[in-house]
């Protein structure tokens, strides 16, 4: 599916990378002021009527596309191959924006061709894997990092309403895995808490330690548990096997990112997972929140209290026919290829053709009263290798545990 596009990227002249065009008619300062006025008011935007919300989203995406088209000769050539220009998008709509296959971010030889901002101005590199496999690398300049910080803190406040409490993070610390995108995303959340503990040290997890920490915080803090589903499932299995139960707090949250597949291919069933959380942690399903994200984009789709994953209102996800990606699927609930348009990244064009299959489950207002697109992830495209931070962390931890067991025999 992606090979023809990759080949076209690879065949473009490498010299294009250094050629940055400019246009004095595009006012970057005004664009950033407008962008940040909107992404800094996510709660307000989520409650605007659909027409006004769509107008704001379309304008931001068109402006961002124009910026990359004018300042990234490589992407401009790619657009011209498809006979698309800012005038095309203005007249025909944002669905015609040329998409970059997410696989391009794994191409070490050509990935830097995607950059609109010069390499020496990058402040941050985030990887989709921290342990093995071919990582997807997403680089961000200062403006994109500023946007990322504003977006994540705002989304966490809006959907989790957290500003106090203590977090048990069932993942490595940022100091141990500074390049891992999942850990970076969790670390933004930790700044909203009064206390936090990262409990996967040197890729080793001890369930008893987790329970002691949670018990020690009882009556002192609202206790939250944060991590990929497979790690929280480990804690639940330990409680089940030892017939132990906890009662977390009324405002406690179970917050997850990283997908529901293990490296073995086994899938963790969400319904059974929620039932275990209710039985062994004493919480309701409205307190269990999953997130969907990619390191290449500047946002997360976060579950509300009704367990619907909401997109930020400035982002557009377009579901496309797997066999004909020019065809947009508009029917609610019908699955296809997830493609996304994110106007908050200046480092590279964040108009991405993912390798994920999903559908938009709601055509209208969620019962939580937030108005935005919702998304339900279903699977990876057939033939695409499973790989993300959580899957590789899972694999690496199991390998380490097998090694430690063998060493003690």
Residue 33 vs residue 26, higher pLDDT:
33
Q: Which comes out higher in pLDDT, residue 130 or 323?
A: 323
User: What are the structure tokens assigned to 14, written together?
Assistant: 């490498």
Residue 144 pLDDT exceeds 90: yes
Which is more confidently placed, 403 or 6? 403
Write down the pLDDT at residue 4. 47
Considering only CA atoms, which of 163, 164, 181 is closest in space to residue 172?
Answer: 181
For residue 36, pLDDT beyond 50 = yes
Q: Are residues 317 and 351 in the same domain?
A: yes
Alpha-carbon separation of residue 26 from 38, 67, 122, 174 (angstroms): 19, 7, 22, 38
In this model, does residue 358 exceed pLDDT 50? Answer: yes
In a domain, 87, yes or no: yes
Do residues 39 and 176 both lie within one domain?
no
Residues 234 and 91 in one domain: no
Cα dist. 399→18, 204, 229 in Å?
43, 11, 19
Q: Are strands 223-227 and 254-257 parallel, antiparallel or unpaired?
A: parallel
Is residue 305, in this structure, part of any structural domain at all?
Answer: yes
Do 103 and 174 lie in one domain? The reply is no
Taking the C-alpha atoms of residue 86 and residue 143, their distance in angstroms, rounded to an integer, is 22
The verdict on residue 293 lying in a domain is yes
pTM of the complete model: 0.88
What is the model's pLDDT at position 126? Answer: 83
pLDDT of residue 386: 54
Output the pLDDT for position 95: 95
Q: Are residues 306 and 382 in the same domain?
A: yes
- Least confident segment among 145-154, 301-310, 311-320, 387-396: 387-396
Residue 58 in domain: yes
Which positions ≥6 away from 145 have C-beta within 8 Å? Answer: 123, 124
Task: Answer yes or no: do 393 and 277 share one domain.
Answer: yes
Among 107, 122, 137, identify where a domain stops.
Answer: 122
Residue 234, domain CATH: 3.40.50.12780
**One domain for residues 240 and 360:** yes
The C-alpha atoms of residue 218 and residue 222 are separated, in whole angstroms, by 8
> Is residue 138 domain-resident?
no
Mean pLDDT of all residues belonging to the chain: 87
Of the residues 87, 122, 157, which one is the last residue of a structural domain? Answer: 122
Q: Does 197 reside within a domain?
A: yes
Please count the structural domains in the chain.
2
Distances in Å between the Cα of 313 and the Cα atoms of 35, 175, 211, 330, 377 are: 12, 32, 38, 18, 18
In a domain, 338, yes or no: yes
Span 49-102, pLDDT tens digits: 999 999 999 999 999 999 999 999 999 999 999 999 999 999 999 999 999 998
Domain membership of residue 283 (yes or no) is yes
Least confident of 166-170, 262-266, 347-351: 262-266
Answer yes or no: is pLDDT of 125 > 70. yes
> Looking at residues 133-156, what average pLDDT do you find?
89
Confidence at residue 135, expressed as pLDDT on a 0 to 100 scale: 67
Look at phi and psi of residue 97 and say left if phi exceeds 0, alpha if psi is from -120 to 50, else beta.
beta
pLDDT category of residue 407 using cuts at 50, 70 and 90? very low
Going by C-alpha positions, the residue among 28, 46, 30 that lies closest to residue 373 is: 46
Regarding whether 118 and 203 lie in a shared domain, the answer is: no
| Residues 159 and 61 placed together within one structural domain of the fold | no
Once rounded to an integer, what is the mean pLDDT over residues 354-363? Answer: 91
Instruction: Flag whether pLDDT at 379 surpasses 80.
Output: yes
Q: Label residue 383 by pLDDT band (50, 70, 90).
A: low
pLDDT exceeds 60 at position 20: no
**281 shares a domain with 165:** yes
Within its chain, how far is the Cα of 269 from the centroid? Answer: 21
Question: Is the pLDDT reported for residue 10 higher than 60?
Answer: no
Q: Which of 343, 63, 68, 398 is nearest to 200 (CA)?
A: 398
In terms of domains, do 325 and 401 share one? yes
Range of the structural domain that residue 358 is part of? 145-408
Tell me: do 232 and 282 sit in the same domain: yes
- Reading the block at residue 199, the tokens are 């409990």
User: Mind listing the pLDDT tens digit for each residue in 177-223?
Assistant: 887 888 999 999 999 999 999 998 888 899 999 999 999 999 999 99
Residue 127's pLDDT is what?
A: 76
Q: Which residue has the higher pLDDT, 260 or 141?
A: 141
| 256 three-class SS | strand
Res 409 pLDDT > 80: no
């Amino acid at each position: 599916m992606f090979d023809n596009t990759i080949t076209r990227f690879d065949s473009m002249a490498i010299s294009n990378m250094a050629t940055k065009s400019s246009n004095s008619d595009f006012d970057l300062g005004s664009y950033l002021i407008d962008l940040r006025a909107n992404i800094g008011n996510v709660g307000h935007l989520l409650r605007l009527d659909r027409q006004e919300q769509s107008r704001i989203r379309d304008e931001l995406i068109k402006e961002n596309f124009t910026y990359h088209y004018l300042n990234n000769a490589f992407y401009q050539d790619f657009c011209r191959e498809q006979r698309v220009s800012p005038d095309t998008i203005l007249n025909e709509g944002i669905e015609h924006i040329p998409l970059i296959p997410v696989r391009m971010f794994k191409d070490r030889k050509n990935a830097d061709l995607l950059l609109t901002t010069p390499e020496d101005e990058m402040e941050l590199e985030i990887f989709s894997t921290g342990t093995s496999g071919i990582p997807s690398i997403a680089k961000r300049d200062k403006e994109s990092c500023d946007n990322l910080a504003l977006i994540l803190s705002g989304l966490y406040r809006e959907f989790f309403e957290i500003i106090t409490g203590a977090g048990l993070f069932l993942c490595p610390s940022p100091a141990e895995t500074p390049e891992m995108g999942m850990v970076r995303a969790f670390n933004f959340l930790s700044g909203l808490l009064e206390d936090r503990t990262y409990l996967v040290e040197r890729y080793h997890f001890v369930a008893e330690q987790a329970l002691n920490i949670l018990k020690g915080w009882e009556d002192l803090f609202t206790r939250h548990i944060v991590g990929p589903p497979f790690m929280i499932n480990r804690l639940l299995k330990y409680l089940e096997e030892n017939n132990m139960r906890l009662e977390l707090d009324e405002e406690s949250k179970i917050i997850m990112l990283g997908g529901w597949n293990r490296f073995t291919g086994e899938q963790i069933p969400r319904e059974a997972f929620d039932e275990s959380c209710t039985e062994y942690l004493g919480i309701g399903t409205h307190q269990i929140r999953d997130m969907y994200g990619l390191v290449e984009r500047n946002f997360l789709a976060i579950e509300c209290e009704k367990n619907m994953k909401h997109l930020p209102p400035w982002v557009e996800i377009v579901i496309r026919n797997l066999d004909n990606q020019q065809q947009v699927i508009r029917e609610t609930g019908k699955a296809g290829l997830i493609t996304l348009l994110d106007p908050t990244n200046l480092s590279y064009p964040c108009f991405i053709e993912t390798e994920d299959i999903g559908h938009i489950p709601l055509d209208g207002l969620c019962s939580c009263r937030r108005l935005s697109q919702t998304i339900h992830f279903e699977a990876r495209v057939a033939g695409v290798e499973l790989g993300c931070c959580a899957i590789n962390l899972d694999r690496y931890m199991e390998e380490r545990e097998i090694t430690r067991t063998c060493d003690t025999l």
